[in-house]
């Protein structure tokens, strides 16, 4: 009797969550799959009574689309460049933080600050720092080169057009890398520092007795014992990197590129949303599935590589 | 004492001296590295604040000033008006509060069922829920966009709130927390004739309060930072969220824009997040280190 009552109650308590999950999580999985395999599916047309044939046209179209390959390239470059930089920097900062006593809490708070920001709002700040104001190409003189260029000039370099008209793809990517790394540091530092603080002090004492040099302690004790956290940070970093989108909007606006070349920095997620808004849901679904498969493959690959090096 | 031991002693002394010098150098190097990195992290915030207080001519000077010569508080009121921040703030607050409250109720009830009640298929259902966490959100967004359209929810607050009420991750988090509370307490309460809801309210919720606070903060931060979904389904003035409004109000990237006012708007939007962080740092950092998600 009690058993039955519990059954009944459990389903009652779960009903709001299950109902919402069915509509907004389970149904989308099937429907997105369905749309991806219906050639040229568009919702408006479907509601108007159009029918679509089963096939893989959407996938072929996505892959043939030059824009998609550009998106894939930008996403991959950003991913491959930012994950190693931010992970290495975060590791160094975490190890340094872990080795000091005074100021540790204060510095830890400062390093966490970028996390509690709005990535679009602070992207606008970075854009201002790189922005050239009042530039006239004919005269070659600007009112303001932007603070980053001021610093470059101070050290004897030439100002660069980072995000303005006429800027190069490389310069645009450089700005994005700086911003993404700045944004990615806090989470990685938090996780790695947490890992460092849970390492048993005895290992270090033993190393001290043996007179092991510091660099060796880092490579032979700290990094191996920290490897599960490092693995976690790297994998989530890659997953996040493949979904990069709003940080680019923060810096370049919805044009996703410098004023004279809109869409230059579009990413895979951007591609999916563009197709979605243009009522080409079949194409969007195919793009999202390809993204999903890429993320899955990269994660499996990461796991393979990491498994060889991680000590649990 | 023989000469060799004296020499050895001197040797040891010298070595510890050198070691101490290296140690001091190492400490100085560590601090120098950390301080430089901290300055790099802080610089954008500093630049945002001083730029927001400059006059436009001062901002446009070829050689930048590192402290505004004349402090322009007026930029802030202008930013408030230009970006219509008052309305945006109210919209965001409404969506944030309603979705957090409803979401908490749903999460608590589900977590309770998974942690305390026995029913057929519990493990399977829980496993299936966890499996959905692996799928990237973009896959859901495409169909949800169509669903919201068909339900006639376009340009309503409902579209902004309902699709995100259930988070499998929060259910998981709270279930773990609930499971740590000994089952004997629940059975004792049952013997005393306490109802489930009363037990939840009097015992489980107070004990799981830190997790609930973390969820609340992350959920509110999520509303404050959301951009993509609101842009798709409710980008009209009456329902616009703060991030979308901010981005739309300052789209001019050609260099003619009034940057000090823009920076003032950014500072206003960033301020609440910093205040929350200042007072609830512990919960945020705890929640983040366990969830690894932004908002």
DSSP string, A67-110: HHHHHHHHHHHHHHHHHHHHHHHHHHHHHHHHT--TTHHHHHHH
Nearest to B165 among A20, A144, A232 (CB): A20
Residue of B nearest to A233 (CA): B292
CA dist B52 → A162, A175, B58, B79, B87 (Å): 22, 22, 11, 10, 21
Query: A138 pLDDT band (50/70/90 cuts)?
Result: low
3-state secondary structure of A151: helix
B33 vs A contacts (CB less than 8 Å): 92-93, 96
What ipTM score was computed for the predicted complex, to two decimals? 0.88
Query: A164 pLDDT band (50/70/90 cuts)?
Result: confident
Structural domain contains residue A63: yes
Structural domain contains residue A7: no
Give the residue numbers spanning the domain of A290: 58-309
Query: A140 pLDDT band (50/70/90 cuts)?
Result: low
Nearest to A11 among B61, B62, B119 (CB): B119
CA A82 to chain centre: 9
Residue of B nearest to A235 (CA): B292
Number of domains chain A contains: 1
pTM for the model: 0.88
Structural domain contains residue A289: yes
Structural domain contains residue A38: no
Cβ of B34 under 8 Å from any chain A Cβ?
yes
A292 vs B contacts (CB less than 8 Å): 135-136, 139
- Which CATH number belongs to the domain containing residue A177 in this structure? 1.10.3720.10
Render pLDDT for B135-185 as a digit per residue (tens, 0 to 9). 888 899 999 999 999 999 999 999 999 999 999 989 998 998 898 888 888
Nearest to A129 among B47, B113, B227 (CB): B47
CATH node for B79-291: 1.10.3720.10
Nearest CA to CA, how far is A280 from chain B (Å)?
A: 10
**pLDDT beneath 70: ranges in chain B:** 1-7, 12, 15, 252-256, 290-295
Structural domain contains residue A214: yes
B289 vs A contacts (CB less than 8 Å): 190-191, 194
Average pLDDT, integer, range A281-310: 88
Cβ of B113 under 8 Å from any chain A Cβ?
yes
Structural domain contains residue A4: no
Render pLDDT for A6-55 as a digit per residue (tens, 0 to 9). 788 899 999 999 999 999 999 999 999 999 999 988 888 888 888 888 88
Nearest CA to CA, how far is B225 from chain A (Å)?
A: 5
B114 vs A contacts (CB less than 8 Å): 14
Angle at B283 between CA A192 and CA B222, to 5 degrees: 90
With a cut of 70, say whether residue A238 has pLDDT above it.
yes
Q: How many CA atoms lie within 13 Å of B21's alpha carbon, on the beta-carbon side?
A: 5
Q: What is the pLDDT of residue A311?
A: 67
Report yes or no: B183 and B199 within 8 Å, Cβ to Cβ.
no
């Amino acid at each position: 009797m009690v058993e039955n009552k519990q059954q009944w109650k459990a389903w009652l308590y779960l009903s709001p969550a299950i109902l919402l999950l069915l509509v907004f999580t389970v149904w989308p999985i099937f429907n997105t799959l369905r749309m991806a395999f219906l050639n040229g599916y568009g919702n408006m047309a479907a509601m108007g009574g159009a029918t679509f044939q089963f096939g893989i046209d959407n996938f072929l179209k996505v892959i043939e689309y030059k824009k998609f390959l550009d998106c894939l390239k930008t996403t991959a470059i950003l991913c491959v460049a930012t994950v190693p930089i931010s992970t290495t920097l975060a590791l160094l900062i975490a190890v340094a933080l872990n080795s000091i006593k005074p100021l540790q809490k204060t510095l830890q708070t400062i390093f966490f600050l970028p996390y509690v920001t709005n990535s679009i709002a602070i992207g606008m700040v970075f854009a201002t720092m790189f922005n050239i104001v009042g530039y006239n190409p004919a005269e070659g003189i600007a009112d303001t080169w932007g603070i980053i260029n001021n610093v470059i000039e101070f050290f004897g370099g030439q100002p660069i057009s980072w995000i303005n008209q006429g800027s190069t793809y490389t310069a645009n990517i450089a700005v994005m890398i700086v911003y993404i790394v700045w944004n990615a540091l806090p989470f990685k530092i938090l996780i790695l520092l947490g890992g460092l603080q849970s390492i048993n002090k005895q290992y270090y004492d033993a190393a001290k007795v043996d007179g092991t040099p510091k660099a060796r302690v880092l490579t032979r004790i700290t990094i191996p014992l920290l490897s599960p956290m490092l693995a976690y940070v790297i994998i989530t970093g890659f997953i996040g990197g493949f979904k990069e989108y709003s940080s680019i909007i923060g810096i370049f606006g919805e044009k996703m590129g410098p004023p004279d070349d809109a869409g230059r920095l579009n990413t895979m997620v951007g591609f999916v949303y563009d197709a979605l808004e243009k009522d080409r849901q079949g194409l969007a679904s195919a793009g999202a599935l390809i993204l999903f498969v890429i993320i899955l493959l990269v994660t499996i690959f990461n796991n393979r590589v990491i498994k060889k090096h991680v000590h649990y | 004492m023989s000469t060799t031991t004296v020499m050895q002693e001197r040797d040891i002394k010298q070595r510890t001296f050198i070691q101490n010098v290296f140690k001091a150098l190492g400490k100085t190097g560590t601090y120098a590295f950390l301080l430089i990195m901290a300055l790099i992290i802080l610089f954008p915030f500093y630049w945002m604040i001083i730029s927001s207080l400059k006059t436009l001519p001062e901002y446009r000077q070829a050689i930048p000033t590192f402290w505004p010569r004349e402090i322009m508080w007026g930029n802030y009121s202008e930013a408030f008006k230009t970006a219509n921040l008052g309305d945006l703030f109210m919209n965001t607050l409404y969506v944030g509060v309603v979705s957090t409250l409803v979401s908490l109720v749903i999460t608590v009830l589900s977590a309770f069922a998974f942690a305390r009640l026995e029913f057929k298929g519990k493990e399977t259902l829980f496993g299936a829920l966890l499996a959905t966490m692996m799928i990237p959100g973009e896959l859901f967004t495409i169909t949800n966009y169509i669903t919201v359209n068909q339900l006639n929810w376009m340009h309503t607050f409902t579209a902004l709130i309902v699709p995100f009420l259930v988070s499998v991750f929060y259910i998981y988090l709270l279930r773990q927390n609930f499971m740590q509370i000994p089952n004997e307490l629940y059975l004792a309460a049952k013997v005393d004739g306490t109802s489930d809801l009363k037990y939840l309210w009097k015992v489980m919720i107070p004990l799981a309060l830190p997790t609930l606070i973390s969820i609340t903060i992350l959920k509110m931060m999520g509303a404050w930072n959301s951009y993509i979904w609101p842009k798709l389904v409710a980008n009209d003035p009456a329902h616009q969220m703060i991030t979308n409004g901010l981005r739309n109000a300052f789209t001019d990237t050609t260099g003619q824009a009034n940057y000090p006012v823009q920076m003032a708007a950014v500072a206003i939007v960033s301020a609440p997040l910093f205040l929350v962080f200042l007072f609830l740092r512990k919960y945020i950092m705890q929640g983040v280190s366990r969830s690894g998600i932004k908002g």
